[in-house]
Amino acid sequence: MNKILVTGGAGFLGSHLCDRLVAQGADVLCVDNYFTGSKRNVAHLFSKPNFELMRHDVTFPLYVEVDRIFNLACPASPIHYQFDPVQTTKTSVHGAINMLGLAKRVKARILQASTSEVYGDPEIHPQPESYWGKVNPIGIRSCYDEGKRCAETLFFDYFRQHRLQIKVVRIFNTYGPRMHPDDGRVVSNFIMQALRGEDITIYGDGQQTRSFCYVDDLIEAMLRMMDTPADFIGPVNIGNPSEFTMLELAEKVLAITGGKSRLSFKPLPEDDPKQRQPDIGLAKSSLGWEPKVALEDGLRETVAYFRGLVSGDK
Ligand code: NAD
Ligand code: UDP
């Protein structure tokens, strides 16, 4: 049996993961409550006999029989996870408890989609997995950051206490087709603004940095992580170490879209990390993986997707 559960499977990353798993011939059960994801992201899979979609909220128990679980359910963009912060913490924490409980009952291997946000506003650069982070426990990002940190704790306690087969990846900023156009994340914002001829909103002075990974590279790393030997559990950073300021990103987006937008400077959101870059040494040595897609190439694919949305093609 090769039955795989993907929670949050109708979201941006989850839908690409479902694509790869279905193509590999796995029997895929995609579970989502459509908070930020949509059926449209996986509609092209409905005709596949090895794909099944179920509306379900992971804060409630789920009784299914599966061999592997990819736990991605959780809004990822600041606008979405701050919309209902209590639900965000519940999704991370209760969701993890429910999925770990399921994994324990059916003896499934389970992978957690954790995040670079566990490092908070980091004092160490780039961030290795051994860094414990600098996270505000009571700020507006805390529902997400602390929720994800608690989920990691639960994963490692289930491993120690119940010998569960766990895998934890810490995902750094990832972009690509099927990002939500209004999720407020920087790549989708800049592209949509450029395509609509609106001002590009730069928060702060635009000198803060992020490292952007294209979705195909990211999914490849997640799949490799799930297949590692049982004694390798992570956490493992996955992301693209090429680091850019938000001003550099805006320039690239304008060059690729041919947009004529002006830059409009806005206040920096509270607790916005100044810099972020993954140390991917462990991913290279343990997964034999490193990202292949350059920012310009990934942006071109993403712009093509958003152009389709803007012109009503998708
Ligand atoms: P997304 O918002 O597109 O996907 C999340 C999916 O989870 C959506 O389909 C949403 O409807 C679903 N969901 C939310 N709450 C749920 C609940 N209670 N029950 C069932 N489904 C629920 O975001 P994404 O970028 O695809 O992120 C996927 C995962 O990867 C998240 O766990 C996120 O924290 C993690 N991650 C993503 C990034 C990134 O840059 N994209 C970075 C770090 C971590
Ligand atoms: N950002 C920006 N303009 C926008 C949206 C975001 O300058 O329209 C900045 C934001 O302040 C942050 C960076 O881009 O410094 C990345 O933001 P995003 O929300 O994409 O992700 P995160 O902060 O979680 O890395």
How far is residue 243's CA from residue 127's CA, in Å, rounded to a whole number?
12
Q: What is the Å distance from ligand 1's center to 262 Cα?
A: 31
What's the CATH code of the domain at 147? 3.40.50.720
Q: Tell me if 304 is assigned to some domain.
A: no
Domain count, the chain: 1
pLDDT of residue 257: 96
Q: Tell me if 197 is assigned to some domain.
A: no
Which residue has its alpha carbon closest to ligand 1 atom 33? 76
Ligand 2 within 6 A of CB of 185: yes
Q: On the CB side of 260, how many CA atoms lie within 13 Å of its CA? A: 0
Pairing of strands 236-238, 174-175: unpaired
- Give every CB contact of residue 71 below 8 A, 6+ residues apart in sequence: 7, 8, 58, 95, 96, 99, 110, 111, 112, 113
Q: Tell me if 148 is assigned to some domain.
A: yes
User: With 0-12 CB in 10 A as exposed, 13-18 as middle and 19+ as buried, what is 136?
Assistant: middle
Give how far the C-alpha of residue 4 lies from the chain's centroid of Cα atoms, to the nearest Å.
18
Tell me the mean pLDDT per 10 residues along the chain, length 314.
93 98 97 97 98 98 98 96 97 98 98 96 93 96 97 98 98 96 94 96 96 97 98 97 96 95 94 90 98 98 95 69
**Domain region containing 63:** 3-175+213-240+278-292
How far is residue 190's CA from residue 184's CA, in Å, rounded to a whole number?
9
Q: Tell me if 189 is assigned to some domain.
A: no
Ligand 1 within 6 A of CB of 152: no
Ligand 1 within 6 A of CB of 59: yes
Which residue has its alpha carbon closest to ligand 1 atom 22? 73
pLDDT of residue 212: 96
Q: Tell me if 11 is assigned to some domain.
A: yes
Q: Tell me if 82 is assigned to some domain.
A: yes
Q: Looking at residue 127, what DSSP letter applies? A: B
Torsion angles phi and psi, residue 313, rounded to 5: -75, -30
Ligand 2 within 6 A of CB of 269: yes
Catalytic residues: 144
pTM of the full structure? 0.96
Alpha helices by DSSP H, listed for 164-245, are 186-196, 215-226
Q: Tell me if 208 is assigned to some domain.
A: no
Q: Tell me if 202 is assigned to some domain.
A: no
